[in-house]
Chains A and B, each alone.
With several copies, the nearest count.
Chain A
Amino acid sequence: MAETPFPYSETVMDHFRNPRNVGVMENPSGVGKVGNPICGDVMELFIKVENNIITDTRFRTFGCGAAIATSSMVTELVKGKSLEEALKISNKAVAEALGGLPPIKMHCSVLAEEALKAAIDDYRKKQTVK
């Protein structure tokens, strides 16, 4: 069997095989859901925020290997970060943390960034409503 079965980096494959923080969060501080099943990927990201810090994350993803890996990676990257720091995490940073993505898969990292932003947005909206 070839060393790298897929045109994916080892880190992508690791996150695909063993995605971190999978699942639904009970009482999340914020939820972001982006993508469209018609386009082949939907990401749902849950964050728990305490004192402006993201203390916990969960995700569910319908999508390809890269979509799952970027979701997993973004949930890892933001944990322990302040909301401001988290918002600075670009799609490129996610892709880089994964050791790169094939060009046609870069849109997955964009989706991950958008899911995170949507979750933080959701959290902030809930705060103002309160």
Chain B
Amino acid sequence: MERIYLDYAATTPTHPEVVKAMQPYFYDKFGNASSLYSFGQEAKAALEESRQKVADFIGAKPEEIVFTSGGSESNNTALKGVAFALRGKGNRIITSVVEHHAVGEPGKFLAKEGFEIITLPVDSNGLVDPDAVRKALNDKTILVSIMHANNEIGTIQPITEMGRICREKGVLFHTDAVQAVGHLPTMVSELTVDLLSASGHKFYGPKGVGFLYIRRGTKIKPLIQGGDQERRFRAGTENTAGIVGLAKAVEIAAVEMEEEGKKLTQLRDALIKGILKAVPDSRLNGHPAQRLPNNVNISFAYVEGESMLLNLDLEGIAVSTGSACTSSSLEPSSVLLAIGLPAESAHGSIRFTLGKWTTQAHVDRVLDIFPKIVAKLRAMSPLYPGDK
């Protein structure tokens, strides 16, 4: 049985070319990039070349790129870093109800440390209203953090609009672009952001490496303090192999992203249309158009997500769900609740996320198998009113 992976938003395979690019930096060119002798300088050269590639990709200067261990670290650095650096200036931080936990949890921590966290709502498509951002700004506001594209429902926020409002008011603006970088254009000047988080493994780079764009002049307290690496924004011996891999992923994205986006949009729409047609009582979650090219998130009445996921897995198809049953919190997805879904529908949601190696055949197979799975589960559901 061919396994079909449709959870690219959770993580992507590391591109074989990325893996290849990393290899010399394990044993041959293994030096510490902070060392002055030749072993160190060849690592340093690779590091700075990688920084240049990443900077070019998002229209930044190399010195504005700080390599991190991934999206969560980037987000934590942005939030806590600005909070502790600007504590004297103000204490209000504005964010949204659909942020990833790696923004939400630092927010909770900061709330305990005396910061005021304003969590903006979203509409039924998952959009934050730029006007709500404007209204929430006051002279105590030190940071606005709104994600670029949502990891669950794929909704793309009007970042540029919000960025301009913040820039105008002189308030720092961070965007968690972990789901966007490598998939959508993310030029920082266009987005008008001061801070931008990304994670390698979400776009065919290695896990355990990401970056944070920090606009020149932005005040930030480093999260990981110690040595002089990364212009003192992030201590720790540089993960040269990982960083070279990340840069390779960026290089590949620069070439393939646009075409891939078109292909995935087609496959995505075929999958959405096919499922909504074949499965009654199903509804698409997230914005119908302003959504990631690879994201399909659908709720199915009367059935629970994990049981669908599990049946798909038995057929070799990997997906994800917003059901409580797959999280340790036993709460269904807060994003789905935030767009107004009743809890039982949130429990009955499935996210298919497509990627570089997804084909029409994969979509066809899902369309063949999945309706049967739902039908089987509905037949044993006490909530199901029967075929109408």
Q: Is the CB of A104 within 8 A of B307?
A: no
Interface string of A27-43 (1 = CB under 8 A from B): 00000010001111111
Q: Is the CB of A62 within 8 A of B324?
A: no
Interface size class of B (residues with CB under 8 A): 35 or more
A19-B380 contact, Cβ under 8 Å, with A5-B313, A37-B344, A64-B325: yes
Q: Is the CB of B380 within 8 A of A7?
A: no
Interface size class of A (residues with CB under 8 A): 20 to 34
Q: Is the CB of A4 within 8 A of B41?
A: yes
Q: Is the CB of B382 within 8 A of A60?
A: yes
Q: Is A129 interfacial (CB 8 A cutoff)?
A: no
Q: Is B323 interfacial (CB 8 A cutoff)?
A: yes
Tell me which residues across on chain B come within 8 A of A33, comparing CB atoms: 382
Q: Is the CB of B382 within 8 A of A43?
A: yes
Please choose the segment from B173-181, B230-238, B298-306 that sits at the chain A interface, where 4 or more of its residues have CB less than 8 A away. Answer: B298-306
Tell me which residues across on chain B come within 8 A of A104, comparing CB atoms: 328, 330
Q: Is the CB of A22 within 8 A of B36?
A: no
CB distance from A14 to the nearest CB of B (A): 11
Please report the C-alpha to C-alpha distance between residue A23 and residue B378 in the assembled complex, in whole angstroms: 11
Q: Is B361 interfacial (CB 8 A cutoff)?
A: no
Q: Is the CB of B303 within 8 A of A62?
A: yes
Q: Is the CB of A5 within 8 A of B381?
A: no
Is chain A's binding surface mostly helix, strand, loop or mixed? mixed
CB distance from A106 to the nearest CB of B (A): 11
Interface string of B261-286 (1 = CB under 8 A from A): 00000000000000000000000000
CB distance from A108 to the nearest CB of B (A): 9
Q: Is A95 interfacial (CB 8 A cutoff)?
A: no
Q: Is the CB of A62 within 8 A of B381?
A: yes
Q: A5-B38, A62-B382, A105-B325 are in contact. List 15 more A-B contacts (CB 8 A).
A: A1-B3, A1-B38, A5-B41, A5-B313, A5-B314, A39-B324, A39-B343, A40-B325, A61-B380, A61-B382, A62-B383, A63-B304, A64-B310, A65-B310, A67-B307
Residues of A bordering B, CB below 8 Å? 1-2, 4-7, 16-17, 19, 22-23, 33, 37-44, 59-68, 104-105, 107
